[in-house]
Structure 1
Amino acid sequence: MPLVRIDLARGKTEHYRHTIGEVIYDAMVATLNVPANDRFQIIAEHADNDFIIDRTYLGIERTDDVIVIQVTLNAGRTVELKRAFYKAVADGLHERLEIRREDVFISLIEVVKENWSFGNGEAQYA
Structure 2
Amino acid sequence: MPLTRIALRAGKPAQYRKALTQGIHDALREVFKVPEDDQFMIVSELDADNFVFGRHYMGIERSDDLVIIQIAANNTRGQDQKKALYAQIAENLARDPGVRKEDVFVNLVTVAREDWSFGNGMAQYAT
TM range (shorter): over 0.9
Runs of 4+ in 1 over 3 A off after TM superposition: none
- TM-score w.r.t. the length of structure 2 is 0.97
**SS in structure 2 opposite 1:18?**
helix
Gapped runs of 5+ residues in structure 2?
none
| 2:100 aligned partner | 100
Give the aligned length: 126
**SS in structure 1 opposite 2:96?**
helix
- TM-score w.r.t. the length of structure 1 is 0.98
| 2:21 aligned partner | 21
What's the CA shift string for 1:42-69, capped at 9, x where partnerless?
0000000000010000000000000000
Question: For structure 1, which segment, 29-38 or 100-109, has the greater mean C-alpha deviation from structure 2 after superposition?
Answer: 29-38
**SS in structure 1 opposite 2:41?**
strand
**SS in structure 2 opposite 1:45?**
strand
CA-based RMSD = 0.6
Q: Shift of the alpha carbon at 1:40?
A: 0.2
Q: Shift of the alpha carbon at 1:36?
A: 1.8
| 1:109 aligned partner | 109
Gapped runs of 5+ residues in structure 1?
none
Cα distance in structure 2, aligned partners of 1:74 and 1:97 = 28
